[in-house]
């Protein structure tokens, strides 16, 4: 099978890179890292304005509605077009939740409307309106309450509290997962930000705006329940792994590029440190890891675009390899930069912290490899694994 991006897909990714190089600079990220609160609206007028402008420009490019149908104001494209955009978002360490909005919530809502499952959506008109608003960039979305487990997705909401939700204070709406009432199965809800009490929580990467949502599951907000919700959880976990993998590719590439440039400029013993074989080998090893992770991530995106039966395993492979690549790139970048790499003044930490956070999100490399192993063993026994997909 021959796989290559089309000219339009490459041009879209290039346009996003050009925009983010101008609108999402290290100086913009520093404002969020240095402020007492990661909420741009509270940081100051300029930070909030910059955040809104980034989102507006991305929406004008169509990035927020790539996977939304044309009838909902989207572009009607597929995950192959999205993966390159998310890679550029990772390269810039974009603080806005483009992956959650365009890569998770939009396709989930579009899929629910298409399937019209018996358990939801409860209010189809509301879902349709929300989808159109998200696709057009009029609102921001996030996801919470589910993470990738070794055998099946894990519901993390307890007693009406969903921890570790990104874009807290910024998202207008969230797809949240909760355990069913009275010991029932999981439920998936579409919750407005105004219907939840949100609290910002400490995090390694302050620009992600991590926080917890305190909310009350209600039949009026329920999108799916029972077996339909189980399937939706599996899709969310798999999509989360692929979107995180795509961003990790961009982060790893950014750190390797920064380190290579620094190795040319930094002199020791009268020579650029990049001329030393030990430095060359470390950078080459990081680049090799990245180049192995790229095709796996692109394959996972193609599997979702074609709805292939093995997309869950492809997602796990992509996330495990991308997490490994970003971890190696982080270590090598820190080693190449030396003592200055440990300082807050060096821009490197802005990208290392995002890489460390995403590497652990949606199942770390060990968890994802365990999922692949579970599927391989299940295939040998002639039955599907519990990981879904």
Element (H, E) at 199: strand 197-200
- Residue whose pair of structure tokens reads 């339909």 in the numeric block: 228
Find all residues with CB under 8 Å of 221, minimum gap 6, and list them: 122, 189, 190, 191, 195
- In the structure, what pLDDT confidence band is assigned to residue 14 with cuts at 50, 70 and 90? very high
- In the structure, what pLDDT confidence band is assigned to residue 78 with cuts at 50, 70 and 90? very high
- Of all residues in the chain, what percent carry a pLDDT higher than 90? 76
* DSSP SS3 for 179: coil
Higher-scoring residue by pLDDT: 267, 284: 284
pLDDT score at 380: 85
* Overall average pLDDT of the 150-156 stretch: 88
- pLDDT above 90 for 117: no
- pLDDT above 80 for 120: no
* Overall average pLDDT of the 253-270 stretch: 91
- In the structure, what pLDDT confidence band is assigned to residue 298 with cuts at 50, 70 and 90? very high
pLDDT score at 389: 44
pLDDT score at 124: 80
* Overall average pLDDT of the 317-346 stretch: 95
- pLDDT above 70 for 148: yes
- pLDDT above 60 for 24: yes
* Overall average pLDDT of the 84-88 stretch: 98
Per-residue buried b or exposed e for 254-266, using 16+ beta carbons within 10 Å of the residue's own CB: bbbebbbebbeeb
* Overall average pLDDT of the 100-123 stretch: 81
Instruction: Using DSSP bridges, classify how beta strands 154-155 and 211-214 pair: parallel, antiparallel or unpaired.
Output: unpaired
- In the structure, what pLDDT confidence band is assigned to residue 119 with cuts at 50, 70 and 90? low
User: In this structure, how many other beta carbons lie within 10 angstroms of the beta carbon of residue 373?
Assistant: 13
- pLDDT above 60 for 43: no
pLDDT score at 121: 52
Fold exhibited by the domain 233-381: Butyryl-CoA Dehydrogenase, subunit A; domain 3 (1.20.140)
pLDDT score at 353: 97
Global pTM reads 0.94
- pLDDT, one tens digit per residue, over 277-294 is 889 999 999 999 999 999
- In the structure, what pLDDT confidence band is assigned to residue 36 with cuts at 50, 70 and 90? low
* Overall average pLDDT of the 71-80 stretch: 95
- pLDDT above 50 for 171: yes
**Average of per-residue pLDDT values in the chain:** 91
State the angle between helix axes of 226-265 and 311-337 in degrees (0 to 180), rounded to the nearest 10. 30
* Overall average pLDDT of the 223-236 stretch: 93
- pLDDT above 70 for 40: no
Residue 56 C-alpha from the chain's centroid:
19
CA distance 110 to 209: 26
* Overall average pLDDT of the 302-330 stretch: 96
- In the structure, what pLDDT confidence band is assigned to residue 183 with cuts at 50, 70 and 90? low
CA distance 212 to 383: 38
pLDDT score at 38: 53
- pLDDT, one tens digit per residue, over 49-68 is 899 999 999 999 999 999 99
- Of all residues in the chain, what percent carry a pLDDT higher than 70? 92
Task: State the Cα torsion 289-290-293-297 to the nearest 10°.
Answer: 170
């Amino acid at each position: 099978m021959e796989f290559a991006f089309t000219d339009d897909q490459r041009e879209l990714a290039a346009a996003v890179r050009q925009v983010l190089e101008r609108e999402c600079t290290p100086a913009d990220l520093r404002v969020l890292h240095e402020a007492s609160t990661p909420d741009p609206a509270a940081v100051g007028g300029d930070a909030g304005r910059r955040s809104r402008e980034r989102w507006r420009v991305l929406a004008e490019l169509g990035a927020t509605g790539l996977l939304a149908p044309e009838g909902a104001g989207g572009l009607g494209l597929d995950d192959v077009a999205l993966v390159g955009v998310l890679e550029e978002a990772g390269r810039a360490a974009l603080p806005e939740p483009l992956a959650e909005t365009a890569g998770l919530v939009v396709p989930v809502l579009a899929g629910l409307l298409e399937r019209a499952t018996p358990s939801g959506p409860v209010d189809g008109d509301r879902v349709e309106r929300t989808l159109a608003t998200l696709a057009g960039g009029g609102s921001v979305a996030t996801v919470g309450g589910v993470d990738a487990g070794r055998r099946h997705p894990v519901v993390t909401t307890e007693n009406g509290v969903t921890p570790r939700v990104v874009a807290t204070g910024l998202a207008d709406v969230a797809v949240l997962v909760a355990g069913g009432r009275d010991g029932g199965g999981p439920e998936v809800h579409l919750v407005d930000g105004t219907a939840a009490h949100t609290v910002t929580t400490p995090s390694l990467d302050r620009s992600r705006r991590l926080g917890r949502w305190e909310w009350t599951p209600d039949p009026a907000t329920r999108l799916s329940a029972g077996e339909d919700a189980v399937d939706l959880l599996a899709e969310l976990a798999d999509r989360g792994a692929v979107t995180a993998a795509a961003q990790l590719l961009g982060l790893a590439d950014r750190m390797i590029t920064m380190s290579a440039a620094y190795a040319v400029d930094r002199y020791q013993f009268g020579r650029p440190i990049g001329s030393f074989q030990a430095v060359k080998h470390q950078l080459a090893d990081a680049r090799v890891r990245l180049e192995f992770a790229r095709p796996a991530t692109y394959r996972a995106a193609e599997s979702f675009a074609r709805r292939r039966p093995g997309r869950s395993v492809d997602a796990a492979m992509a996330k495990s390899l991308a997490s490994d690549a970003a971890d190696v790139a982080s270590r090598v970048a820190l080693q190449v930069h030396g003592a200055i790499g440990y300082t807050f003044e060096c821009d490197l930490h802005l990208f290392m912290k995002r890489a460390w956070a995403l590497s652990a999100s949606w199942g770390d490399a060990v968890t994802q490899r365990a999922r692949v192993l579970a599927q391989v063993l299940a295939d040998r026994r002639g039955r599907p694994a519990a990981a879904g997909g």
